Structure 1
């Protein structure tokens, strides 16, 4: 019964947000409460929901101050030179703009942190997309696809989880996956080229004479960087750049927890660029509308995950799926694990999958001679789909930055994310780091 309720809850939640009947905030709160009551937990739901909120609280704090920090850097004009450079390179061509977005995302996302990637890339590219009339869903799609490839790095999170769950060294999982990651990056660039060509045709069709009338490079650059804006601090650009590089270095090195690093960096950015009390209040108030929607969705997601884990629904779903694999399919456990991980890492957290389900699948696969590291690599190919999950906090940051609805983003990106996961799996099988069968 618990298994049926778990799958019904997930299906109901996805139906509500994909059909646009209610907002993601309402669905994240009402759906788990309703099914938790149906499961007979009653007053026990309160502690479960609070535990879920507590587990996501550090992420909420980190994103709040990350949005504030990069917003302050944008106000101060740190990214203006980057915008001017991009404008000179793309010359108003939609294909170059879209492919350039993918290249930028692949480079920036190498730090393994999706939130930082979204903030930096959206800061640089969203003004250009809006000025040219390009579909912002394309930018959201490409940023997430890029992170789906680079998230496999040991410092990205999933690889470390898989290594810990199976008792392996992260390098033993990651290094053989590099050729597959290169294939995935190439696929992202191909998708960008295809989407860019589609946007070029769309804009040409909308034009009366069949041409794209883009403003000149100089005009476009000055329009995008908001010349003479009172918040800009051009004389402090090198100090702001040093502060940002120091922050990124500290993030990669793990000197302090992420929430603490962004809190300190935000305070320093305010002191450096806007020393007066009135100016600091004005900047915080200016970025509050961008921060609030993301934070409330993250805490709402905490209620969903708290009920899912606290009621035992996660474990029930895992047991039902593992038990449904026939013994005759044992030699194919690696590709089966890759396919299973797509929906499972979408509907439950990475922690629940890698620590709760992957060890069981790996143990079963060991009877057929499939090594644990091979199973781990198969499971990692699904990260592009996982990043679309409504339970991933950075997803709400991305849709907030590009100003689209979560359901719109999921409908547009899911086919490409699933295709990328299959490309990664095919490349892993082709290069021999994950077996098709044993």
Structure 2
């Protein structure tokens, strides 16, 4: 019954936000509360929700200061050379813009962090999309698909969790997955080509002058008061070095991520805008984006807190695993790859890889399936996991791009499923999971 309640909750939530009956913010709060009450957990809601809020607090803090930090870098002009370089290459061609988005997102996603990938990609590319009047859903779709594939790198999270939970050697698990990732990236770039062709057909190729700045948001952000600008060209190398150090810190985990962004933000704001009035105006200019993103993060804490506290997540996973017939035992790795799509969409990585995956691996071992194959198969659903309503960076992406969460879900779904299907097929053909 708890499993059915969980599936009904997820279906209702997705239906309401896709049909725009509720905003993502209200859906994350109200839908799980109502279903928890229906399930008889009304009196336990307080501790569940508090646990969920505490769990997402570090992420909320990180995103708050991350959005502010990269907002300061945009104001100071750090990304202007990159934007102008991309512009000189794409020359107002929507097809080249989308391909450029895929290239940039893939490169940035090498650090394995969705937050960094989305902030840098959207910051650099959104002005181009606005100037050319391109559909921002193409931007969010392309960036998320690239990250969904690149997140399989060992330092990205899911692969490391799979290796740890099954006590495996990283050299056994990851290297064979490289051809699979390359196939996934080929699909990402094919998707970018298809979407770019559609945008080119719709808009045509527009002639733009190098060095343009977005006529709306970026010009507004560039003015503190008459005769004053936010640009800091003399500090561009300082800002570049600070950003590189920040990214290195993120990859090496020298400090917790929230701490890194808090420190970097403090330094960036003081060095670029030492005047108190300027600091106030810079923070006010980015407050709307920050409020949208952070409120969604804490609302997702309510959602995950109730799902975990009621054991809906565990029961849903157990229900899906239990329906696999015994005669399909030798196909357990393939089944794991396929079921990883819905399972990692419905739950965060930690409960899946540390809770569900060991059960799957133990069951598969009874049929003679190597746990290494199970580990590899388990990460092939990451393109679907990247778009999960339980992932904080998803809300950051749609918030920065200014698109509706439900619209983004509808737009990306078939392309994301396609990515996983391509990777699963390549893994089967090359004997990587069988």
> Are the counterparts in 2 of residues 149 and 384 from structure 1 also a CA contact under 8 Å?
yes
CA distance in 2: counterparts of 1:220 and 1:49, whole angstroms? 47
Alpha-carbon offset, residue 379 of structure 1: 1.1
Partners in 2 of 1:357 and 1:295 — Cα distance? 29
Corresponding position of 1:84: 84
Look up the match of 1:58.
58
CA drift of 1:219 comes to 6.2
Report the Cα distance in structure 1 between the residues aligned to 2:298 and 2:208, rounded to whole angstroms.
44
Q: Do 1:76 and 1:273's aligned partners in 2 also have CA atoms closer than 8 Å?
A: yes
1:103 paired residue number: 103
Q: Distance in 1 between matches of 2:296 and 2:394?
A: 10
Q: Which residue of 2 aligns with 1:399?
A: 398
Match of 1:335 in 2: 334
What is the CA-CA distance between 1:133 and the residue it aligns to?
A: 1.0
After superposition, where does 1:236-247 map in structure 2 within 5 Å?
A: 236-247=235-246
Corresponding residue to 1:215 among 198, 207, 214: 207
Shift of 1:222: 8.2
Please, which moves more after superposition, 123-132 or 9-18? 9-18
Q: What CA distance in whole angstroms lies between the structure 1 residues aligned with 2:222 and 2:126? A: 20
**Could you tell which deviates more after superposition, 333-342 or 234-243?**
333-342
- Alignment correspondent of 1:198: 198
2:389 counterpart residue number: 390
* 3-state secondary structure, aligned to 2:390: coil
Distance 1:321 1:28 in 2: 23
TM-score normalised by structure 1 residue count = 0.95
The superposition leaves residues 131-165 of structure 1 with CA deviations (integer Å, 9 ceiling, x where unpaired) of 00111100100100000111001111111111121
Cα-to-partner distance string for 1:89-132 (whole Å, 9 max, x where unaligned): 01111111111110111111101001101111111100001100
Q: In the alignment, which residue of structure 1 is the partner of 2:417?
A: 418
The answer to whether the Cα contact below 8 Å between 1:112 and 1:151 also exists between their aligned partners in 2 is yes
**Is this contact kept in 1: 2:32–2:303, CA < 8 A?**
yes
Question: 2:408 matched to which residue of 1?
Answer: 409
Q: CA deviation at 1:167?
A: 1.1
Q: How many matched pairs? A: 427
Distance 1:263 1:228 in 2: 24
Partner of 2:353: 354
Q: Distance in 1 between matches of 2:19 and 2:319?
A: 28
Distance (Å, rounded) in 1 between the aligned partners of 2:24 and 2:73: 30
Q: 2:91–2:207: 8 Å Cα contact kept in structure 1?
A: no
Q: CA deviation at 1:361?
A: 1.1
CA distance in 1 between counterparts of 2:152 and 2:307 reads: 26
Give yes or no for contact 1:154–1:171 (8 Å, CA) kept in 2.
no
Aligned 1:17-166 pairs, distance under 5 A: 17-166=17-166
Alignment pair present for 1:254 and 2:249:
no
* Number of the residue aligned with 2:274: 275
Q: Report the Cα distance in structure 1 between the residues aligned to 2:222 and 2:412, rounded to whole angstroms.
A: 37
* Whole-angstrom distance in 2 between the partners of 1:186 and 1:307: 38
| Counterpart position of 2:303 | 304
Query: In the aligned structure 2, how far is the partner of 1:9 from the partner of 1:195?
Result: 33
2:226 maps to none
Ranges in structure 1 where 5+ consecutive residues have no aligned partner: 205-211
Compared CA separation, residues 307 and 221, structure 1 to 2 (3 A): closer
Give the superposition deviation at 1:202: 1.1
Tell me how far apart the structure 1 counterparts of residues 169 and 294 of structure 2 sit (CA, whole Å).
35
Distance 1:228 1:150, change over 3 A: closer
Most deviating of 170-179 and 261-270: 170-179
User: CA, structure 1 residues 228+8, in 2 after alignment: closer, same or farther (shift >3 Å)?
Assistant: closer
Contact 1:52 1:302 in 2 (8 A): yes
Give the secondary structure class of the aligned counterpart of 1:167.
coil
> How many Å separate the matches in 2 of 1:336 and 1:153?
22
TM-aligned CA deviation for residue 186 of structure 1: 1.4
Is the Cα–Cα contact under 8 Å of residues 130 and 214 in structure 2 kept in the other structure? no
| Deviations 1:5-39, CA, capped at 9 Å, x for gaps | 11111111111111110111111111111111111
**Structure 1 residues 131-140 or 40-49, which shifts more?**
40-49
How well do the aligned residues superpose, as a CA RMSD in angstroms?
Answer: 1.5
1:231 and 1:106 mapped to 2: Cα distance?
30
Question: What stretches of structure 2 of length at least 5 have no aligned partner?
Answer: 224-228
Query: Structure 2 CA distance, aligned partners of 1:228 and 1:326?
Result: 62
